[in-house]
């Protein structure tokens, strides 16, 4: 059966070695906040008031909230609807739809925006941006909600069915409450992605705080204005991050005892089946088919492909040499954060768990500016090195690694280690024998997710990559931003192909594990 729990078992104070391990990523994550505060202090109260109460700031605030709120809401509605259709209804081809619904995640948002923008200026508007970014980001909600629906115990649904409740009432009163943590986590990721999105919005000519921050620094070299605009983004990201974490902490569901696996009774769609199939097919066609078709068009008829082809291998090499070791660095820094959050109480572990999600709402440009600011003053030898770029990757991608690692750690309660200790094993031996094997699936998932994320990262790479180093993402941006769509197409197509492989394998693997 499934129980709603108010806690996760007894947790203890963290040992000194873990406290030291948590301090390093926590201090690193704090640098963007310290940068924003320092630059705002340098501007002074009068400058802060002048900037915050400008008509331009109000316009950016409206645009940012409108875009982030609209995309998050639509992504949540679409993600939950598609997850329910493929997991709880008798829609034909359910296994195929399960994979197909996740594949739009393989098309980076700025690549999708480049494809749509190249069709004409009609999509370079706020409604166009909402549509395109929703199509790109709804899988961030669909995937965790679908996983939650697959893992739910069917007992509650069967009881509600026996009481005569309709499909809609069972969904609202039984299914949705159990999916809230997954829905909240997915929606928070979408929201923070929208706060930080730059490349897609720049190509679609939509102004938000992120694009304004880029202009303040690149065009006017005004770090003070950029810092104040970043402070507004931090203020916007803080409440939803705290709310989602409170939801995850206070409402947990666990299955007590496997018992015999029972299949859920699928809800018959009846006369709605053709409409559901049409809707899902249209969604996949718009989210995946349209961008890929446009890329194929530019590859087929473009005149500048030959010029760009000579630069493809350096871009591929740059993407791999940055993404693969970067993923190892990020996962290594995230491991003590996840371990402290699931095993040990304390203010430091609580702060370390929450802070990355708050900073995740900052654009990569602000993170890069913060690291440049502090490295020049305190560690000039790391300026314009790969180490500084990896630090930026860690700040930007820690929440993804934390989520993957935490999911595995929560499957191995701390009591298992206590049992191993009672049998004579020391702390390290108990960790290696009990906890580490349970962490390995999460480590693998974290490495795959972070590699995918870093291969597509744009703004921090543009700012911090050593001179002469290019990636597929930066080449797409450089060519598309100048209107050279045919030249950008080979890099964009390769980026989609590289992204599609881990998305497909990860989705199929999760289904195979569920079916065991």
For 143-153, how does the pLDDT look when each residue is reduced to its tens digit (9 = 90+)?
888 877 776 66
Predicted pLDDT at 392:
92
Instruction: Please tell me which residue, 332 or 184, carries the higher pLDDT value.
Output: 332
How much is the pLDDT for 64?
92
HSE toward the beta carbon, residue 168, CA cutoff 13 A:
0
For residue 488 the two structure tokens come to: 């950008």
**Domain boundaries of the chain, sorted by first residue:** 2-252+275-515
pLDDT at 416: 67
pLDDT (tens digit per residue) in 442-485: 787 778 878 888 888 888 898 888 888 889 988 888 888 787 88
Residue 128 predicted with pLDDT over 50: yes
Burial of 44 from C-beta contacts in 10 A (0-12 / 13-18 / 19+):
exposed
- Pairing mode, strands 12-13 and 344-345: parallel
More confident residue, 226 or 10: 226
Residue 229 in 3-state DSSP?
A: helix
d(CA 401, CA 447): 8
| Summary mean pLDDT of the chain | 79
Asked whether the predicted pLDDT for residue 212 surpasses 50, the reply is yes
Whether residue 380 is predicted with pLDDT greater than 60 in this model: the reply is yes
Instruction: Please say whether the dihedral angle defined by the alpha carbons of residues 77, 292, 400 and 201, taken in this order, is positive or negative.
Output: negative
Instruction: Answer whether residue 30 shows pLDDT above 80.
Output: yes
Least confident of 62-76, 286-300, 407-421: 407-421
Residue 309 gets the label, from left (phi > 0), alpha (psi -120 to 50) or beta, of alpha
Residue 350 has pLDDT above 80, yes or no: no
The CATH number that domain 2-252+275-515 falls under is 1.10.3720.10
Residue 272 clears pLDDT 70, i.e. is over it: yes
Number of Cβ atoms within 10 Å of the Cβ of 314: 14
Number of residues in the chain: 516
- Nearest 10 degrees: Cα torsion 279, 280, 284, 287: 60
The answer to whether 109 touches 136, Cβ cutoff 8 Å, is yes
Tell me the CA distances in angstroms from 209 to 112, 333, 336, 412, one per residue in order.
21, 29, 33, 42
Token pair 């989609």 is found at: 496
Stretch among 116-130, 267-281, 400-414, 495-509 having the lowest mean pLDDT: 400-414
Question: Looking at residues 320-330, what average pLDDT do you find?
Answer: 91
Mean pLDDT over 166-186 rounds to 72
Q: Is the pLDDT of residue 279 over 90?
A: yes
Strand partners, 3: 254
| Helix residue ranges per DSSP H, 267-385 | 273-284, 290-301, 305-309, 312-343, 347-359, 364-378
């Amino acid at each position: 059966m499934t129980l709603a729990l108010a806690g996760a078992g007894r947790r203890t104070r963290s040992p000194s070695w873990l406290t030291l391990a948590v301090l390093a990523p926590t201090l690193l994550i704090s640098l963007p906040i310290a940068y924003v505060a320092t630059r705002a202090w340098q501007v002074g109260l009068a400058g802060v008031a002048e900037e915050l109460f400008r008509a331009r700031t109000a316009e950016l605030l409206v645009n940012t909230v409108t875009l982030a709120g609209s995309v998050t809401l639509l992504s949540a509605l679409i993600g939950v609807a598609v997850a329910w259709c493929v997991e709880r209804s008798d829609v034909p081809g359910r296994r195929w739809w399960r994979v197909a619904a996740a594949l739009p995640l393989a098309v980076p948002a700025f690549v999708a925006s480049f494809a749509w923008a190249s069709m004409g200026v009609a999509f370079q508007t706020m409604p166009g941006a909402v549509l395109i970014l929703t199509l790109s980001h709804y899988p961030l909600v669909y995937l965790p909600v679908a996983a939650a629906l697959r893992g739910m115990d069917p007992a509650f649904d069967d009881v509600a069915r026996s009481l005569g409740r309709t499909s809609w009432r069972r969904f609202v009163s039984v299914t949705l409450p159990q999916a809230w943590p997954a829905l909240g986590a997915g929606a928070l990721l979408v929201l923070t992605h929208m706060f930080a999105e730059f490349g897609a919005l720049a190509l679609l000519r939509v102004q938000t705080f992120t694009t304004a921050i880029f202009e303040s620094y690149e065009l006017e070299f005004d770090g003070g204005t950029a810092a104040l605009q970043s402070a507004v983004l931090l203020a916007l990201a803080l409440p939803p991050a705290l709310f989602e974490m409170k939801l995850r902490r206070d409402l947990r569901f666990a299955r007590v005892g496997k018992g015999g696996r029972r299949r859920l009774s699928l809800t018959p769609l009846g006369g709605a089946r053709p409409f559901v199939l049409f809707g899902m097919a249209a969604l996949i066609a718009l989210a995946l088919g349209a961008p890929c078709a446009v890329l194929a068009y530019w590859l087929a008829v473009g005149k500048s492909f030959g010029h760009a082809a000579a630069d493809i291998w350096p871009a591929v090499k740059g993407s791999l040499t940055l993404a693969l070791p970067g993923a190892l660095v990020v996962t290594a820094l995230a491991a003590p954060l996840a371990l402290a959050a699931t095993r040990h109480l304390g203010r430091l572990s609580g702060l370390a768990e929450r802070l990355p999600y708050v900073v995740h709402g900052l654009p990569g440009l602000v993170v890069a500016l913060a690291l440049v600011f502090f490295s020049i003053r305190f560690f000039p030898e790391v300026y314009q090195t790969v180490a500084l770029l990896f630090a930026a990757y860690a700040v930007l991608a820690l929440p993804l690694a934390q989520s993957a690692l935490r999911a595995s750690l929560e499957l191995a309660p701390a009591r298992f280690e206590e049992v191993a200790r009672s049998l004579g094993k020391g702390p390290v031996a108990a960790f290696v024998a009990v906890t580490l094997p349970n962490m390995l699936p999460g480590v693998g998932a974290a490495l795959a997710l972070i590699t995918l994320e870093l291969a597509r990262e744009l703004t921090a790479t543009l700012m911090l990559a050593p001179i002469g180093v290019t990636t597929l993402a930066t080449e797409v941006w450089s060519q598309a931003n100048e209107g050279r769509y045919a030249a950008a197409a080979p890099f964009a197509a390769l980026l989609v192909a590289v992204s599609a492989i881990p998305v497909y394998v990860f989705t199929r693997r999760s289904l195979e594990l569920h079916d065991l």
